[in-house]
Structure 1
Amino acid sequence: MSATPPPLPPVVRAFVDAANAQDTAAWLRTFAPDGAVDDWGRVFTGYEALRGWSDAEFIGAHVTLDVTEVSAGPDEGDVTVLAQVGGDGFNGPSHFAFTVREGLIALMRITA
């Protein structure tokens, strides 16, 4: 019997829910104003850059995220999510490492 993964921090749950709902505005609200996405070394910082990345490669590609594992990171506010990704772009398992500060995402890294 597998253990239940720890719960997602509320802002990470909102990130996943907004992505699955294809709701770009709600997805952007999960980020700090200077929040960033690191997509395999390509870094997009701030709302305008995040929207451009998402429109082309995330929500614009009809992403779906089915969270299968959650693990705490080394620092408080850090969490890594393993999700099965679907949509019109990459499909398969991927890790999303979140740095949460003051209730918002400061950084989301896609690692593997």
Structure 2
Amino acid sequence: MTEERTAATRLSDQSAGFRRSGEPRKHGGEGVEDGFNVSGMILLGLGVLAVALALVAAGYGFARWAVAGAIVSGVLIVSGIAVLVLEWRRRRTRAGLTPDVRQGH
């Protein structure tokens, strides 16, 4: 019973604008102002755009351009994910937070 209440309390706190540490955000746009995810998101967006361009090139029969677009899109998507993961880890270690320990199953 207490575990269910704890999980429900966590969900309500997160939806009410509280961070995992239990501190409320100072103002509504704080998450938007902090641009630490921007570079990774831009790389992911460019990777998706490169996939679309590679598909168009393949559809029109430009095989070499399609292969080049596929390689570029793969590099962009992987680098975007890597930037996001590394930035997430850097922010967690800088804040002194321990990694989430899986409890239960």
Give the TM-score band, short-chain normalised. Answer: under 0.3
So what's the TM-score if we normalise by structure 1? 0.22
The structure with the largest strand share of the pair is: 1
Structure richer in helix, relative to its length: 2
**Quick check: which has more Rg, 1 or 2?**
2
